[in-house]
Structure 1
Amino acid sequence: MPKKHSTNGHHPGHIGEPHHPHARADSPAVAPQWVRITAELRQAIATGHYGPGALLPSTAELCDAYQVSTTTARRVLGQLVMEGLAEARKGRGTVVIRPQPRRTQPVRRYNPADGPAPADIAQTVITSGLDIPPADIAALIDADPARPLFHHATALADAYGNPVELCDAYAAPDADPEPLRRSLDAGHDWPDAVRKATGRAPAYASTAITARQATPAETDALAMRATAAIVLIADTITYDHSRRALAIIRSVTPADRTRLTDYYQTPEPAR
């Protein structure tokens, strides 16, 4: 059983069985020391030995207890921070934190193109009106980057109140902003509003998904930890029958809370 960190000058004992640095050549392969130490501390947190607010052993104490290098000890504590089990606090050390409830979301869990939001998804409109689009958005729908486009931005949260997705929808340059605004205000979904504002019907859509480091604004809006702030970007472009872009929706979701799911229809075997 692991010992809790104390400040009385005594070093904690080993969390588990002693490690043997000189294993026999025919011994079974074992995980690296930092992986084993991390697993033992993770288990100690899971069983409540280190509860929320408890101090984990310091780098120096882990080095002394396990006879490992400072680099290894820091890697152990850093891994627990990255997993969201602990937090490094200046002047105190590494503190166990209460994990936030999370629910895995498929990357296309919801976007304005899907129609009304599901009952367990809360949608907040951030902005709706003319705006200068990012240069890469304008390029994807062949728009003049200096010309304002109708921009409808929303933030989505799950039933627990956790932010799960940011959506930025931009209509094509020929979309009349006033009919588009009226349609949205009247409760019409995004595809229907764009169809009425452009006079063009959607025929098909294409989605491209990439991953990158989150911006500070995205990290804050999606309640992500800066140490693991990777987001998935899904750009969905809707086209009409003549292959002209109608609109683009950019969805931003936390990579550690997103599951990518594809469905394929297999042809029936020939008879």
Structure 2
Amino acid sequence: MDLSDRARRRIALAAWVVVLFLLLPGFVTLPVALNDSRFMQLPQGSLSLRHFEALLTDSGWHQSFLDSFTIALAAMAIACAFGTFCALGVWRLGGRIAAVVLVIAMTPMILPPVVSALAMYRVWVQLDLYDSWAGVVIAHAIIALPYVVTTVSTSLALLDARLEQAARSLGATPWRAAIDVLLPNIRGGVISGAVFAFIISWDEIVVTLFISTRAVYTLPRRMWDGIRENVDPTVAAVAVVLMAITILGVAIVMIHSRLRRARPKG
């Protein structure tokens, strides 16, 4: 084994150590979810699935899952539409105006969540959007917008501008050139932005606490109330389910990526 192989193995080992260091605290929720107590603690005796049963039978948790999923899908669609065309506009404009627009688009990512939440609370009350589905969806879309702009702008930076020029020279309108030429070539950036937007909306809690009370009860809010009000161990069961879904999704993506690389070309 030469020196380069040893270096790669050491780097891989160090990477796995860091990954385990970051992931192991999260896996503590598994034994907590399996405890037989009404309180959130590590198992003292026998293991139990009572908290997973409570999760499966409680309609409140089911509704919160559905609310979060629906809101995340809607916010993702809005953020993708506006973020993609914002990035396209900035890419076409260039110069100082584009830089100003890009800074404004990045503002929700730069500002602390509490500041954004306070601002949205005041505006949403005036617009009669407080504690409404439309208000929560719009707020989540605004928060997710910068991530879509970032990923799409990165894809556009790697795109040859002559592709659009060629389409325009053949008679395509700016709209048609964007739909038929630009979007297919930046599909990866749009998909990445959509994934980020969905995750940001699904995980959002600070802004949701400020702009809603009981009419919109997302999963993070229910988990927050479960910890703050009665320390419900069902929250640990929810965390385990979410981690399992995440691990399954990552595994599917990795397997699909390996199968694509292994597929013979041509």
TM-score above 0.5, yes or no: no
Higher-strand-fraction structure: 1
Using the size of structure 1 for normalisation, the TM-score is 0.19
Select the structure with the greater relative contact order (CA < 8 A; seq sep ≥ 6): 2
Higher-helix-fraction structure: 2
Using the size of structure 2 for normalisation, the TM-score is 0.19
